[in-house]
Structure 1
Amino acid sequence: MTETLSVFFLGGTGYLGGSILAELTKRHPEIRFVTLVRNPADNAAFQPLGVEVINGTHSDLVLIEKLASEHDVVVNAADAETLALSKAILSGMEQRARERPDAERKPILIHTSGTGILAETVDGVFHSNKIYDDSIVDDIKSIPENAFHRDVDLEIFSAAKNGLVDAYIVAPCMIYGKCRGPLPHPSMQINGMIKMALMHKEVVQLGPATNVWNSLHIDDLCDFYVLLFEHALSGKDRSTDPMERFCWASGEEFAWGDVAKELAKLLHAAGAIKSATPRELTLQDEPNLMLTASNARAVSNRGSCTFGWKIQGPSLWETLPKEVE
């Protein structure tokens, strides 16, 4: 009898992770999903998805290592920054590989990073014409070792090179749109800008806010993960360099100042703020502007070329009125 495929999922209670988990369970009800939940009061929210819940935190490294050793696939959509967490996951997966040398496939890791790894300057100014392409391995190799959470990505690349684990890294850009997960959450950066606007009674931006990022609707991100998940399970991936399994999940470019202008119009029209024009501040004035301070430009060719991903969701500009509501 063929064993049921099992997936250990971290991040199911969050905005990104919850949405991804919901889509995976919808499209693959035949697969067993297990997720880690901090608060037992949230357990019931996962019952409609058919997801098994283990109560614990990301600091429970012994538990996480054990769970990683018990499943065919681990998806980490929870924490891109904590090296100890990734080491525990990889240790458990490597243990599984050693214990099952004749298994049909190696343990598979899908790890969530982010285009924040490209952030070099934090002044709200456009600085670079460089666009990082995930189909060009040298672009991925050129990211500095001291970049934001690069140490975690490098640890995963190293483990994959050792040959016991098949590891994929997805680096999403700025994600917007309604959460699809079992627990409701707003989007991070857009909601953060709205909160700051309500606090200051006007939309604020960092300097001229000419700095550029990419945007992607949450539904398109979920589709990306499902297609990558299916590709990883297919056994058709012939890449030899672990860095060839690094993918940007990115879409349309935008300048943060343009978002600020549109939010100012919408919030002012709704009577929520006093001005229809954004005000320039510094990080000293408003430290939370760090959320929108950098440039991060990336193109997701690997997703479209390798597993047929296509962007289909509404644009950022189409969804801003709903975000304001």
Structure 2
Amino acid sequence: MNLGKTVFLIGPGFIGWNVLELLVNEGYTVSALVRRKEHAMSIHKSGALTIEGSLDDHDLIAEHSVKNDIVFHTATADHLPSVQAVLDGIKQRARDGKSTIFIHTSGTGVLDDHALGEFKGEKVYSDDKPEDIDALPDDAPHRPIDLAIVNAAKELGEKAKLAIMIPPTIYGFNPKHNRLSSQIPFITRFALKHGYAGHVGKGLSVESQIHVCDLARAYIFVLHYMECTSPQELLVNPYFFCENGKEFSWQEVAEQVGKALHAKGLIKDPRPVSFPEAEWDDLYGDITGAVIGLNSRSRAVRLRQLGWTPREKGMWESFEQDELPAILAEAR
């Protein structure tokens, strides 16, 4: 099962662009699916070939999944058609006697306990206990896509190696890319618009965290592990969490955002309050509670066993030094 070093990367954005540059630096030949010509030019400057298309281009995604030994999907955790296209390509390669490595990006939203900010959850999930992840409801956030991959892996058996990266809340900023994460910037923009920083419910729910550059390095560690391990090991456990050993509550997020904006004279009162449901449309709509009101506590045991360690700056140092200036620059 000797694999080459050709990579097809779907979604070279906030996460994927950082992964792409690490792959190029290690000598992999990378092709990336991009939607816009302007972005394609930037990705080309990072050393990758570009393929213009969308996540709905089944035949295009399947074609390039067939052509490449390794596939990364870092675009979204919730687009089943694009994942199915990758799996169709992998199955074609298997029929041709070729193996494939596929790393998909899910998220710890799959651990949502419907807390809606009302309590700190006690359950902590570890990726060396796949049985706990397998026991999650089939309709949990992201889980239908994860199950499609798990079931395909069982069908393919020894003919492919499939893994699922499950990051928590991602923060951080790469000034070369000018890309921001989702949750904390969303809460910050909401505060700038409405004049207060908020949280869902009481804000007591707790989540793990990771800097995007630490996460990008984690993908490379997982790739190297997959390159030298048997498909059977991944059939037993395809899951990898990625966290930096620290947790936060959503109340803490609101406090930190409120304090930072108040210090700059951008809101009158730094004290956080609960988001009224009537204003959730300025956040994540009906799924606001599931996105920023959940308990989602994870432990990346397997990555640390592979030698990976987090080394980037902490969440609030990064917010004040990197993300907040970028968010404020959007309005200029």
TM over 0.5: yes
Matches of 1:311 and 1:129, distance apart in 2: 24
Give the counterpart of 2:32 among 30, 35, 38: 35
Q: Is the 8 A contact 2:117 2:204 kept in 1?
A: yes
1:144 aligns with 137
User: Does residue 53 of structure 1 match 2:47?
Assistant: no
Q: Kindly indicate whether the alpha-carbon contact (under 8 Å) linking 1:125 and 1:294 is maintained by their aligned counterparts in 2.
A: no
Q: Does 1:270 align with 2:267?
A: no
Question: 1:63 corresponds to which residue?
Answer: 60
- Look up the SS of the partner of 2:210 in the other structure: strand
For this pair of structures, how many residues does the alignment match? 314
Scaled by the length of structure 2, the TM-score of the pair is 0.89
Given residue 277 of structure 2, which amino acid in structure 1 is its aligned partner? Answer: L
Alpha-carbon shift at residue 221 of structure 1 (Å): 0.5
Is residue 170–residue 249 contact of structure 1 (8 Å, CA) maintained in 2?
yes
Deviation at 1:198, TM superposition (A): 0.2
- 1:296 corresponds to 2:290: no
In structure 2, the residue matched to 1:125 is 118
**1:108 and 2:101 aligned:** yes
CA distance in 1, matches of 2:295, 2:277: 16
Would you say the 8 A contact 1:231–1:237 is kept in 2? no
Match of 2:223 among 209, 219, 229: 229
Aligned counterpart, 1:165: 160
The one-letter code sitting in structure 1 at the alignment partner of 2:79 is T
After the TM superposition, list the runs of 4 or more consecutive aligned residues in structure 1 that deviate by more than 6 angstroms: none
* Aligned equivalent of 2:237: 244
Offset, 1:19: 1.8
Q: Give the residue type in structure 2 aligned to 1:281.
A: F
Alpha carbons 2:16, 2:216 under 8 Å: kept: no
- Correspondence 1:83 to 2:80: yes
Letter in 2 for 1:151: P
Distance in 1 between residues matched to 2:213 and 2:183, nearest whole Å: 17
Q: Which residue of 1 aligns with 2:210?
A: 216
| Distance across 1 between alignment mates of 2:233 and 2:47 | 36
Amino acid at match of 1:293: G
CA distance 1:149–1:243, change in 2 (3 Å)? farther
Name the SS of the counterpart of 1:286 in structure 2.
Answer: helix
172, 181, 187: which one pairs with 1:177?
172
Rounded to whole Å, the distance in 2 between the matches of 1:91 and 1:224 is: 26
| Residue 186 (str. 1) matches residue 180 (str. 2) | yes
Aligned 8 A contact 1:81 1:149 in 2: yes
Gaps of 5+ in 2: 326-332
Name the counterpart of 1:23. Answer: 22
Instruction: Return the offset for 1:241.
Output: 5.5
Letter in 1 for 2:252: D
1:221-255, CA deviations, whole angstroms, 9 ceiling, x for partnerless residues?
0110111111112x234754625121111231110
2:278 is paired with a residue of what secondary structure?
Answer: coil
SS of residue paired to 2:319: helix
CA RMSD after TM alignment: 1.9
Contact 1:6/1:32 (<8 A) preserved: yes
Question: CA, structure 1 residues 3+168, in 2 after alignment: closer, same or farther (shift >3 Å)?
Answer: closer
| Aligned-partner residue type, residue 204 of structure 1 | G
Q: Secondary structure of 1:89's match?
A: helix
Q: Which residue pairs with 2:251 in the alignment?
A: 257
Q: Are the counterparts in 2 of residues 173 and 213 from structure 1 also a CA contact under 8 Å?
A: yes
Identity within the alignment, %: 30
Task: For 1:117, give the aligned amino acid.
Answer: V
Paired AA for residue 127 in structure 2: D
- Quote the Cα distance in structure 1 between the aligned partners of 2:231 and 2:34: 35
Letter in structure 1 aligned against 2:8:
F
Partner residue, 2:329: none
